[in-house]
Structure 1
Amino acid sequence: MRARAALVLAAVVVLLASFVQPASAQFITVGNPVVQQRADTAIYKHTDGYYYMTASVPDYKRVELRRATTLQGLGTATTANAFVAPSSGALSGWIWAPDIRYYDGAWYMYFSASPSTATFAQRLYWIRNTCANPMTCAWSAPQRFTTGWESFQLDAASFVNRGVRYFVWAQDSPDTTYNSHMYIARMNGATGITGTVTEIARPTYSWEMEGVAGVVEGPSPLVKNGRVYIAYSASATDSRYKLGLLSSWDTADLLDPASWYKHPNPVFQTANGVYGPGHGSFTVAEDNTTDVLVYHARDYATPTPDALTDPNRHTRMQQLYWRENGDPFFGQPLPNGTTRPGIRGAHSNRCVDNYNLDTTPGALVRLYDCNGNTAQEWEFSYRGVSWYEIRNRNTGTCLTDLNASTTANADVGLTVCTSAAAQQWTLLDQGSGWFSLRNVAGAMCLDNYEWNAANGARLSLYPCNGTAAQRWRRG
């Protein structure tokens, strides 16, 4: 019997040795805030391996650029001014929310500016740079980017879908009393639009009108999973600022307003000591795989002396996730500091833990006080359009329905990563940034069984019900 057992064990070892692991995601351990006193952040990762970042600066008097080979490195990177507001004229007032893109062999930045005599008379402009490294060469003089009518306009962004380039922005409509609507048009080259201008969003929900007549602004496009998404910012730019979401199919006519679905609830808002998260962009981590949400927020609720002149909106970053239906899942803002990517329970306020740092195959996961050590660090690697592999940093093994069981209270532990259905997890949105983890093989959710909030409490699988025992967040 011992000889037979040895043969079986040897066969298992050979099988595991021959298994080729799929590429893992990057452990996202960004120290937030990444860049102090920079808002409306846009980041473009170029083919030269650098991240190029621009943002609103607190004096609103310049278009600034920096670059670094890592996202964290942007916080200490050298800056260069691409444009500085003159003392008089159409661009002498405030400069807001620049965006950066690389089109047709040249760099472009789009931004809004106003005269000092009417600082809210914002209009859109563009500047151009043909150097490989735009930090080293002068940018062209600003030129107007015309939208078809004259009114308050800001927050330019652009994207490409199925080979067609689109421009999106926020502007005051002459037909309503709202502060801004959102529009889309096809681009004509890199410096203009052509054809139909379409309104795709206006304030319609109460959470878009908190403290203001109504705001939808700061469009942030993202194309993935056969869809086109535009995150946008809503309400007053204090602790009530938040993100909403528009979505369309990538095969749809994006100039038809009926093609766009406006999600009824905010997707990202104040939590965990981070106030008024909003206007940012999307990028990828250094692995060129892991999606990253970039946004700004304050460390306190009440701006001083007011939301516009308080300088302390800081650039933050964290991993962006994907729901079981392919939609983005933003979660909650991570608190300040170098936050390890833990999984914290809503009922227990404790974290999913490789208990006692047990590296034995099949070791059960349990709850423990959140402490940020490697036993509580979990890498979420997105596979396909529906599921995640969840790997523990201490063991290098994956969260598993140990017996591929469909029976309630099934064991959950750590085994060698194989991408089997027992290691496939989908994110179910439970609202307000909380999620449930549904196992594909067991068709049940990770559960704080018996609602036991003590250290060492066992976790298991249980039919998905959305209760606090099955609600989790990162951080």
Structure 2
Amino acid sequence: MENRKVNITKYNKPFIEQRADPFICRSREGTYYFTGSVPEYDRIVLRSSNTIEGLKEAKEEVLWRRHDKGPQAVHIWAPELHYVMGKWHIYYAAGEAENIWKIRPYVLVCDSEDPMKGPWRELGRMQAAEEDEFSFQAFSLDATVFEHRGEWYYVWAEKTGVGKQISNLYIAKMASPNRLATVQVLLTTPDYPWERVEYWVNEGPAVIRKDGKLFLTFSASATGACYCMGMLYIDEEREILDPNNWRKLSYPVLQTNRDKGIYGPGHNSFVKGEDGSMDLCIYHARQYEEIEGNPLYDPNRHTMIMPVKWNENGFPCFEYAAGSK
């Protein structure tokens, strides 16, 4: 961190250093996998371990590298590993060499049951449904997928508008691992001041479920200390492609805490602990507030972990806590 003075507390010790947009999942056999954005934004990496703690020191394999030119040449962002429709897939975003902000979502597929060894091959850009004239036409990133009642759903961030563009979250049903079956549905747009600091942003969706409810967290505002996490929720019995069935909290559920030395927390994922009883929130944050230059290129967004607590109303609570247990 180049002689930068930071306030080290028991709350802000990194789980894995310099890995932003962290994602951990667990296979049906019990293996944990970790991936995230690397500071160079030039490759997709993966670790595996039989325990979450073991991911800290696990060997990191490079599964895929950026192209030298054309699409998928820069800004390789926010990879997520999911077992979809019988195969491992990685969902990620990338820009073009000739237009670095032409960010679009892409998909890799693994042709074996071992995602650490591959082989991995490109399925290309995520495809919209035939009747959808809007999806993936502009800056699009941060896709996640989840299964609900036998159907797969895709949630992503995409910018819209002219002038000061707005990043919204959209949802659609999936026809295949790399194609949507339905037209996009707007889930959330930046409504509140905490979602509109420097940029108007909703991005980085993640899904967790408990006791008949689906909760969808997301990140808001620019990528510095103002970055924070909001949340939507819906009853599982309701139609999830109807935006009127979702409710959005009017306040951030996770944000900068200077006393604990945590700045700009967000872009999280969820995973169960080894015994299956504890939900964990995997997120990134910095240990300092002042950033020189563009926050997007500051390398010190570290992966951190906290246990998710559930209140008497059955809602998740995100309180800073050291370690993964």
Same fold (TM over 0.5): yes
Q: Partner residue of 1:281?
A: 269
**CA distance in 2: counterparts of 1:127 and 1:244, whole angstroms:** 29
Q: Partner residue of 2:310?
A: 322
**CA distance in 2: counterparts of 1:176 and 1:286, whole angstroms:** 47
**CA distance in 1: counterparts of 2:48 and 2:59, whole angstroms:** 7
Tell me the TM-score normalised to structure 2 length: 0.90
Q: Partner residue of 2:227?
A: 241
Secondary structure, in 3 states, of the residue corresponding to 1:188?
Answer: strand
- 1:221-260 to 2 correspondence within 5 Å? 221-260=207-246
Secondary structure, in 3 states, of the residue corresponding to 1:73?
Answer: helix
Higher relative contact order (CA 8 A, sep 6+): 2
Aligned mate of 1:84, from 65, 81, 89? 65
Paired AA for residue 309 in structure 1: Y
Q: Structure 1: 5+ residue runs without aligned partners?
A: 1-28, 342-475
Aligned mate of 2:301, from 313, 328, 332? 313
String of CA shifts for 1:254-310, please: whole Å, max 9, x gaps. Answer: 111101101000001111101110001000111111100100000101223321111
Q: Partner residue of 2:146?
A: 159
Q: Residue 105 of structure 1 contacts residue 130 of structure 1 at CA under 8 Å; is this kept in 2?
A: no
Q: Partner residue of 2:179?
A: 192
**CA distance in 2: counterparts of 1:65 and 1:179, whole angstroms:** 31
Greater percentage in strand = 2
Paired AA for residue 327 in structure 1: F
Residue 169 (str. 1) matches residue 150 (str. 2): no
Q: Partner residue of 1:44?
A: 25
Q: Partner residue of 1:58?
A: 39
CA RMSD after TM alignment: 1.8
* Structure number with larger C-alpha Rg: 1
String of CA shifts for 1:171-198, please: whole Å, max 9, x gaps. Answer: 0123784430000000112221112310
Q: Partner residue of 2:7?
A: none
> In the TM superposition, what is the alpha-carbon distance from 1:32 to its structure 2 partner?
3.6
Q: Residue 66 of structure 1 contacts residue 135 of structure 1 at CA under 8 Å; is this kept in 2?
A: yes
- 1:100-119 to 2 correspondence within 5 Å? 100-119=81-100
Q: Residue 231 of structure 1 contacts residue 244 of structure 1 at CA under 8 Å; is this kept in 2?
A: yes
Residue 303 (str. 1) matches residue 291 (str. 2): yes
Secondary structure, in 3 states, of the residue corresponding to 1:33?
Answer: coil
Paired AA for residue 249 in structure 2: H
Paired AA for residue 90 in structure 2: M
**CA distance in 2: counterparts of 1:203 and 1:176, whole angstroms:** 16
Residue 202 (str. 1) matches residue 183 (str. 2): no
Q: Residue 123 of structure 2 contacts residue 178 of structure 2 at CA under 8 Å; is this kept in 1?
A: no
Q: Partner residue of 1:361?
A: none
Paired AA for residue 205 in structure 1: Y
String of CA shifts for 1:192-223, please: whole Å, max 9, x gaps. Answer: 111231001000100001122x0000001112
After TM superposition, where is structure 1 displaced by more than 6 Å over at least 4 residues in a row? none
Secondary structure, in 3 states, of the residue corresponding to 1:195?
Answer: coil
**CA distance in 2: counterparts of 1:194 and 1:176, whole angstroms:** 31
Q: Structure 2: 5+ residue runs without aligned partners?
A: 1-9
Q: Residue 30 of structure 1 contacts residue 318 of structure 1 at CA under 8 Å; is this kept in 2?
A: no
Q: Residue 22 of structure 2 contacts residue 269 of structure 2 at CA under 8 Å; is this kept in 1?
A: yes
String of CA shifts for 1:32-72, please: whole Å, max 9, x gaps. Answer: 41111001111110122211111110000011111111212
Paired AA for residue 232 in structure 1: F
Q: Partner residue of 1:420?
A: none
Paired AA for residue 292 in structure 2: T
Provide closer, same or farther for how the CA distance between residues 176 and 170 of structure 1 changes in structure 2, counting only shifts above 3 A. farther
> In the TM superposition, what is the alpha-carbon distance from 1:142 to its structure 2 partner?
4.3
Paired AA for residue 97 in structure 1: A
Paired AA for residue 251 in structure 1: E
> In the TM superposition, what is the alpha-carbon distance from 1:134 to its structure 2 partner?
1.2
Q: Residue 293 of structure 1 contacts residue 318 of structure 1 at CA under 8 Å; is this kept in 2?
A: yes
Greater percentage in helix = 1
**CA distance in 1: counterparts of 2:297 and 2:197, whole angstroms:** 19
Paired AA for residue 167 in structure 1: Y
Q: Residue 30 of structure 1 contacts residue 72 of structure 1 at CA under 8 Å; is this kept in 2?
A: no
Paired AA for residue 82 in structure 2: R
Q: Residue 178 of structure 1 contacts residue 203 of structure 1 at CA under 8 Å; is this kept in 2?
A: no
Q: Residue 234 of structure 2 contacts residue 246 of structure 2 at CA under 8 Å; is this kept in 1?
A: yes
**CA distance in 2: counterparts of 1:56 and 1:126, whole angstroms:** 15
What is the total number of aligned residue pairs between the two structures? 308
**CA distance in 2: counterparts of 1:241 and 1:113, whole angstroms:** 21
